[in-house]
């Protein structure tokens, strides 16, 4: 299922708001824009325009993943996801899927702590395994990231594994750049001390 980043964010927001603020669900377009761009519980933080959100909503409707409705007593159209009826996943799976859609790759420990604000998702590891064994698969194990003791898991609704790796490569590049900068600064300090006729280790005395 190939979804763009904004489509992934919209579906994650709709699942989240359905569970955390059911009185205000389905969401109007304006509420959905605000939900997509909120600064908490989002990775990355975005600034999608209403036009971009509307275009993504149409794409999701075309894919059958979203329905737009309007009650007789309401003026605004509102939007709801159709994931649960189309994919036949349980509430626990839907809760973890929302977290993966909203925040990208995470460890079971991170998911467990963040799922506390949802209805109890059950055993996280077992739920992730069910998502991975779903047909089609809805989650997959990416292995451990740098400095992590647990495997990371991601959703499969739009981003392939190669799109999950740039942050690791970027971190390694940044580390290498920092090392080069430290070496340059060290060489500069040594030249300054040489110019002043001092030994470099005098700086620590």
Residues 179 and 85 in one domain: no
- Note if the bond before 35 is cis, omega within 30 degrees: no
Q: Residue range 174-192: average pLDDT?
A: 78
Q: Tell me the range of 9-13, 106-110, 164-168, 186-190 where mean pLDDT is highest.
A: 9-13
Burial of 5 (C-beta count, 10 Å sphere; 0-12/13-18/19+): middle
* Domain containing residue 191: 166-204
Residues 148 and 194 in one domain: no
Residues 159 and 192 in one domain: no
pTM: 0.75
Q: Per-residue pLDDT for 170 more than 70?
A: no
Q: Name the residue with higher pLDDT: 27 or 122.
A: 27
Residues 147 and 183 in one domain: no
Residues 94 and 184 in one domain: no
Q: What integer pLDDT is reported at residue 33 of this predicted model?
A: 98
Q: What integer pLDDT is reported at residue 21 of this predicted model?
A: 95
pLDDT 10s digits, 140-155: 999 987 887 899 999 9
Q: What integer pLDDT is reported at residue 152 of this predicted model?
A: 95
Residues 139 and 170 in one domain: no
Query: What CATH number is attached to the domain comprising 20?
Result: 1.10.10.10
CB 15 within 8 A of CB 65: no
Residues 115 and 170 in one domain: no
Residues 156 and 176 in one domain: no
Residue 182: band (very low, low, confident or very high) from pLDDT cuts 50, 70, 90: confident
Q: What integer pLDDT is reported at residue 187 of this predicted model?
A: 81
Residues 124 and 144 in one domain: yes
Residues 10 and 80 in one domain: yes
Residues 197 and 129 in one domain: no
| E strand residue ranges, the chain | 27-28, 66-69, 78-81, 139-144, 151-155
Residues 179 and 87 in one domain: no
Q: What integer pLDDT is reported at residue 161 of this predicted model?
A: 47
Q: Count how many domains the chain has.
A: 2
* Sign, Cα dihedral of 102, 106, 108, 113: negative
pLDDT 10s digits, 82-111: 999 999 899 999 999 999 999 999 999 999
């Amino acid at each position: 299922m190939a979804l763009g980043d904004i489509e992934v964010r919209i579906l994650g927001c709709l699942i989240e708001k359905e569970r955390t603020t059911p009185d205000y669900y389905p969401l109007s377009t304006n509420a959905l824009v605000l939900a997509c761009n909120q600064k908490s519980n989002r990775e990355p933080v975005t600034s999608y325009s209403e036009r971009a959100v509307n275009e993504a909503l149409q794409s999701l409707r075309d894919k059958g993943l979203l329905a737009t409705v309007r009650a007789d007593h309401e003026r605004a159209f509102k939007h709801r996801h159709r994931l649960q009826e189309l994919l036949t996943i349980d509430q626990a799976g839907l809760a973890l899927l929302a977290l993966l859609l909203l925040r990208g790759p995470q460890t079971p420990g991170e998911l467990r702590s963040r799922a506390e604000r949802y209805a109890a998702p059950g055993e996280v590891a077992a739920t992730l395994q069910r998502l991975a064994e779903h047909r089609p698969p809805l989650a997959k194990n990416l292995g451990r990231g740098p400095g992590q003791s647990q495997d990371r898991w991601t959703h499969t609704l739009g981003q392939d594994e190669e799109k999950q790796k740039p942050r690791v490569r970027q971190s390694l590049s940044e580390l290498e750049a920092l090392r080069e900068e430290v070496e340059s600064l060290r060489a500069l300090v040594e030249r300054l001390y040489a110019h002043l006729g001092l030994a470099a280790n005098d700086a620590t005395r």
